[in-house]
């Protein structure tokens, strides 16, 4: 029954009553009030925002709502920055992988060009491919 509103608790109580289980509304509401006092603390609001969870400021007592929203938004900003950083890191890993494959192909082409049995057409094709990979390498290192 974590965090249920009084209306939701009433629905839950009706469903439980069908099986002979009773709910203690007063005890639940007391526990809910205590839980909200913990939930609505500024540090928790920050943690909730940073974790990317939804804001539930309406459940907070009115005197705690402004601080909750302020800290929640600070946490959200950190969450967004961390997400952007992770995205950048992923792109760096992907780009490094592409650079590595490209450099590997450049190395292979250099070795193939050393062969003495290559036809002029094969050598020209390899040189063309080499130029393409070399240009790609420069562009990848800049991005």
**What is residue 60's three-state secondary structure?**
coil
Q: Which residue has the tokens 């990317």?
A: 52
Whose CA is closest to 81, among 55, 53, 50, 54?
A: 50
Do 134 and 127 form a contact (C-beta atoms < 8 A)?
A: no
21-30 confidence digits (pLDDT tens): 888 888 988 9
Phi and psi, residue 3, nearest 5° = 75, 20
Q: Is the pLDDT of residue 10 over 50?
A: yes
pLDDT in tens, 105-135: 999 999 999 999 999 999 999 999 999 999 9
CB of 69 within 8 A of CB of 55? yes
pLDDT of residue 47: 97
Q: What is the pLDDT of residues 12-68, one digit of tens each?
A: 888 888 898 888 888 988 988 899 999 999 999 999 999 999 988 888 999 999 999
Q: Name the pTM for this structure.
A: 0.67
Determine contact, residues 49/71, Cβ cutoff 8 Å.
Answer: yes
Alpha helices of the chain — where are they, by DSSP H? 6-17, 25-39, 42-50, 62-113, 120-142
């Amino acid at each position: 029954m974590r965090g249920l509103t009084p209306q939701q608790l009433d629905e839950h109580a009706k469903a439980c009553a069908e099986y002979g289980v009773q709910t203690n509304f007063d005890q639940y509401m007391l526990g809910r009030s205590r839980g909200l006092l913990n939930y609505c603390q500024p540090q928790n609001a920050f943690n909730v925002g940073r974790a990317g969870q939804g804001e539930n400021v309406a459940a907070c007592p009115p005197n705690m709502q402004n601080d909750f929203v302020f800290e929640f938004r600070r946490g959200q900003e950190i969450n967004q920055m961390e997400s952007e950083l992770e995205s950048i890191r992923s792109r760096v890993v992907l780009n490094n992988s592409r650079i590595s494959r490209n450099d590997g192909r450049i190395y292979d082409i250099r070795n193939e060009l050393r062969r003495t049995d290559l036809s002029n057409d094969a050598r020209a094709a390899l040189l063309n491919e080499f130029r393409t990979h070399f240009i790609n390498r420069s562009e990848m290192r800049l991005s």
